[in-house]
Amino acid sequence: MNIDRFSGRRLGAFPAVALALAATLAAGLWLCPTSEAAMNDKQAFVEGDCGWVGQGPLKAVPDLDARVAAFVPTTLDPSIAHLDAGEQAVLAKLVEVARIMDGLFTLQATPCHDELAARIADLPEGNREAARRYLAINRGPWDRRFELTPFFGSWEHPAGANFYPRDLTADEKAFIQDPGNGMNTEFTVVRRDAAGKLVAVPYSQYYGAALQQAATLMREAAALTKNASLKAFLASRADAFLTDDYYASDMLWMDLDSAVEITVGPYETYEDGLFGYKASFEAFVTVTDPVESQRLAKFKHELPWLESQLPIAEADKNPNRGSDSPICVVDEAYSAGDTRAGVQTIAFNLPNDERVREAKGSKKVMLRNVMNAKFDQILVPIAKVVVADDQLADLTAESFFLHTLWHEMSHGLGPGKIVKDGRETEVRLELKDTFSTLEEAKADAMGEWDIFVLARAGKGGFPEAIFRQQSATYLAGIFRSVRFGIGEAHGKANAIQYNYLVEKGAIKYDAATGRFRMDVPVFETAIAGLVHDICSIQARGDYEGSKAFIAKYGVTTPELDGALAKLGHIPVDIAPVFPRWDR
Ligand SMILES: [Zn+2]
């Protein structure tokens, strides 16, 4: 799961791939290994042909330049001076592994990627450079920001990406969904054999050559590192690439305590828009911030106390909630694959394997330098347009970070398992399709509430200005997130907060200046009210109540729309550039 894509996944904005990098890597560096693997495979399967890509002159969307400009190239280059030569060598190996994941993800995302990329030559010359860059950002000719509609050509995006044949019949789709047929597994690609029958090919076979190479690099890195936890994880993950069994290495990943780390493998299943079965390759290569991680470890111990302080009925509190999951603060040294396409992740929560989650919880990883980049490149410019002049000085990157952190922590507070009509159940099951939106609004609101309550109790070591700083930064953050669209859980959750706080008099609009202001004392009271109202709906498992609450508050208003309309020139997300590694 990540943020800025956080549903299981990410809190953030929109996808971006470093412009320089993407073209090269996305361009089928790994097509060779894959087709080689295919040829070596005894269980014959055939690739669909690429005739559908066609030929002849093409057109691009008229606003292509603006779409590219929405992703502002941003350098991410954390200091590695404190790493010794051995650790720096490990880092370089891990970046090589990540590059392989990048090529694999491109293969997974887009059938006939290279043939499609070659069609850029059929665009008018003035469009070609922008198309090349945008193809790299999106990993194909389909715009991730606009529901995967093509930005050049007119090919329809295959919902199953390149995980399945493009021409599945209704019967075949039913066959794939039947668990008895072994097609609905995470780590297999579905193809046809020579007779046209569907076969599930394990990743370790289908991407065999590339994964072999990744495993070799992982073992070389394991030999170089002096950190025992990293050594164990790298060796185990190398095995997993070749066996498709990630459980043991997922367990070891939870225990990492190294200055240099990698989160790597097939994790999320969002790219499989057909069934959500197939996992996409990605990698985060990170440099740990031990001082910050230590500070957060202390926060974690406040969770039971915060639960006891929640502004809800005693009976609705959940003293057993709040697992002992680790939290880390890291800087991103390199990112690749799924996470690099589209919106850039600012925090993630892995692994997804429920067996690991039960045994060890999950690890929350905060990507501090990515957050700071979005603060500078997006949040501050937005605030300069919509936040009252005298509150601009209160914007801080630290407040943006704290909000993201406590948003994550708050997913572990409040009603989870509940009793409804005498039966044991879960909030998630009772609130059904409304759950995500309400839960995201809860995590945002409670995240601020947590900080205020800690500050009032003299905990957390916050400065006195924290109330003003959180208020101003949070206000700007609402506009940043609503831009993702209220059709999606995070966007709608932010509209809920906006309208609720306007109703309570915390957010005030000045028609004369067209700007918004947060009334700090009113905000502190109102946000507790919002936490109360949402948690009460959750504690009751009240589906109708949840629907009504979302229908009332999760809407746009003329003032909100007017503000969003003024933000068109501000980037939607960053396109990371890693000067040390991009080539
Ligand atoms: Zn969330």
**Cα 173 to ligand 1 centre (Å):** 32
**Per-residue DSSP letter, 79:** -
Which has the minimum average pLDDT: 128-132, 288-292, 381-385, 486-490?
Answer: 486-490
Q: What φ, ψ does residue 225 adopt, rounded to 5°?
A: -80, 150
Query: What is residue 4's predicted lDDT score, i.e. its pLDDT?
Result: 67
Least confident of 20-24, 68-72, 90-94, 248-252: 20-24
**Ligand 1 mean position to 407 CA, how many Å?**
6
C-beta of residue 76 within 8 angstroms of C-beta of residue 190 = no
Round to whole Å and give the CA distance between 240 and 236. 6
Distance CA(393)–CA(379), nearest Å, equals 13
Mean pLDDT calculated for residue range 520-534 = 98
Highest-scoring range by mean pLDDT, 301-305, 364-368, 412-416: 364-368
- Ligand 1 centroid to 56 CA: how many Å? 45
| pLDDT value at 160 more than 50 | yes
Token pair of 577 as six digits: 């550039």
Lowest mean pLDDT among 8-22, 76-90, 97-111, 470-484: 8-22
| Ligand 1 center from residue 440 Cα (angstroms) | 5
Written as six digits, the tokens of 348 are: 């993630």
572 vs 326: CA distance, rounded Å: 31
Report the C-alpha gap between 41 and 39 in whole angstroms.
Answer: 5
For residues 93 and 546, give the distance between their C-alpha atoms in angstroms, rounded to a whole number.
49
Q: How many angstroms is it from 409 CA to the middle of ligand 1? A: 9
Query: How remote is the CA of residue 27 from the centroid of ligand 1, in Å?
Result: 34
pLDDT digits (tens, 9 = 90+) for 447-491: 999 999 999 999 988 999 999 999 999 999 999 999 877 777 888
Q: What is the DSSP string of 530-572?
A: HHHHHHHHHHHT-HHHHHHHHHHHS---HHHHHHHHTTTTS-S
Q: In the predicted model, what is the mean pLDDT of the chain? A: 90
Phi, psi for residue 330 in degrees, rounded to 5: -135, 165
Q: Tell me the C-alpha distance between 464 and 458, whole Å.
A: 10
| pLDDT tops 80 at residue 125 | yes
First to last CA, the chain: 29
Print the SS3 string covering 145-179. Answer: HHCCEECECCCCCCCCCCCCCCCCCHHHHHHHHCH
How far away, in angstroms, is 408 Cα from ligand 1 center?
A: 6
**Encoded tokens for 186:** 């995470």
Give CA–CA dist 140/129, Å, rounded: 15
Measured between alpha carbons, how far is residue 181 from residues 190, 300, 355, 422, 583 in Å?
Answer: 11, 44, 23, 38, 43
Is the distance from CB of 400 to CB of 30 less than 8 angstroms? no
pLDDT band for position 1 (cuts 50, 70, 90): low
Q: Cα of 347 to ligand 1 centre, how many Å?
A: 10
Residues paired with residue 367 on neighbouring β-strands, in sequence order: 330
Per-residue pLDDT, 119: 98
Reply yes or no on whether the pLDDT at 84 is more than 90: yes
Asked if the model's pLDDT at residue 26 lies above 50, the reply is no
Cα 349 to ligand 1 centre (Å): 10
Spatial distance between the Cα atoms of 342 and 500, rounded to a whole number of angstroms: 30
Q: What's the CA-to-centroid distance between 192 and ligand 1, angstroms? A: 39
Quote the percentage of the chain above a pLDDT of 90. Answer: 76
Distance from the alpha carbon of residue 350 to the mean position of ligand 1, in angstroms: 13
| Residue 377 DSSP class | I
Exposed e or buried b for every residue in 388-421, given b needs 16+ CB within 10 A? Answer: beebeebbbbbbbbbbbbbbbbbbbbbbbebebe
For residue 290, pLDDT over 90 is answered with no
Ligand 1: distance of its center to the CA of 434 in Å? 14
**Ligand 1: distance of its center to the CA of 185 in Å?**
26
What is the enclosing helix (H) or strand (E) of 400? helix 397-410
Distance 42 CA to ligand 1 centre (A): 44
**85 CA to centre of ligand 1 in angstroms:** 38
The pairing of beta strand 327-337 with beta strand 363-367: parallel
Q: What is the pLDDT of residue 321?
A: 62
Cross-strand bridge partners of residue 347:
3, 366
Confidence category of residue 342, pLDDT binned at 50, 70, 90: confident
**C-alpha neighbours within 13 Å on the C-beta side of residue 23:** 12
Q: Cα(414)–Cα(540) distance, rounded to whole angstroms?
A: 12
- Taking CA atoms, 366 is separated from 45, 374, 444, 462, 531, in Å, by 41, 13, 16, 19, 24
Token pair for 285? 């290569």
Q: State how beta strands 423-426 and 417-420 pair.
A: antiparallel
Q: What is the pLDDT of residue 18?
A: 30
- The per-residue pLDDT for 5 is 55
Q: Are 356 and 482 in contact (CB under 8 A)?
A: no
Ligand 1 mean position, distance from CA 179 (Å): 30
Q: Which residues contact residue 139 at a Cβ distance below 8 angstroms, ignoring those fewer than 6 apart? A: 17, 22, 26, 105, 106, 109, 110, 113, 341
